[in-house]
Amino acid sequence: MNTDFYKIGPVWGRVDVQLISSLIMTGLREKSSNGIKTLHKNFKAALGFLILAYCFSCEEDEELLNGITIVDCNECKTDEPLDAVLDIKLEKLKNHQPADFNIYITIYEGNLEDDIVYSAFKTSYPETSATVPLNKKYTITARYFIYNKHYIAVNSVTPHVKYNKYSCDEPCYYIVDRKVNLRLKYTK
């Protein structure tokens, strides 16, 4: 039988590798199929655990997240800011009401049910802003009156400062959690 392999020539190597790998796989399946299945299950469980541990990790290493952190260098400041400018997005009311219609904005310090009004104003523009101190929770409401019905949009933010050494030309501070969406999802 060895002479048959030698007569085939260059194909002998492929046949031999295929034969050996099929014998090994058959032997593994017959002798220790439970061992491989257990190893496979353990590997999947360990991999799942590592992925979950990474996703829910409280540690934020800037060097590790250097490629993931996206910083707008135009909004970066070399001095640590003391307050934040909230960017508030509102519903465009051109299709719903006359042009002189106002949206009433109320900014509460803390939760809405605490009823501590920080600021209140009205606007007719689809975007507005407000300056607030950092590291506090703010609940913002927008009151709309459309087709003789009242609608209130509510959202909360806690603007705070982060420091980044790597994304821009020089280390800088930037503010996160300052965008507020108070657009209506539907009006019926």
Of the residues 55, 85, 100, which one is the last residue of a structural domain? Answer: 55
Q: What are the backbone dihedrals phi and psi of residue 93, each rounded to the nearest 5 degrees, phi first?
A: -105, 20
Of 62, 95, 72, the closest CA to residue 168 belongs to 72
> Given this model, what pLDDT does residue 156 score?
96
- pTM value? 0.60
User: Are residue 26 and residue 78 in the same domain, yes or no?
Assistant: no
> Given this model, what pLDDT does residue 15 score?
44
User: Are residue 47 and residue 78 in the same domain, yes or no?
Assistant: no
CA atoms within 13 A on the CB side of 69: 18
> Given this model, what pLDDT does residue 159 score?
96
Q: What CA–CA distance (Å, rounded) separates 187 from 153?
A: 11
Instruction: Please give the average pLDDT of every successive group of 10 residues along the chain, which has 188 residues.
Output: 41 46 50 60 72 66 54 87 94 64 92 95 92 96 87 95 87 92 80
> Given this model, what pLDDT does residue 146 score?
80
User: Are residue 122 and residue 87 in the same domain, yes or no?
Assistant: yes
> Given this model, what pLDDT does residue 169 score?
86
Is residue 188 in a domain?
no
How many folded domains does the chain comprise?
2
Instruction: Tell me the C-alpha to C-alpha distance, in Å, between residue 52 and each of 21, 40, 47, 59.
Output: 36, 18, 9, 14
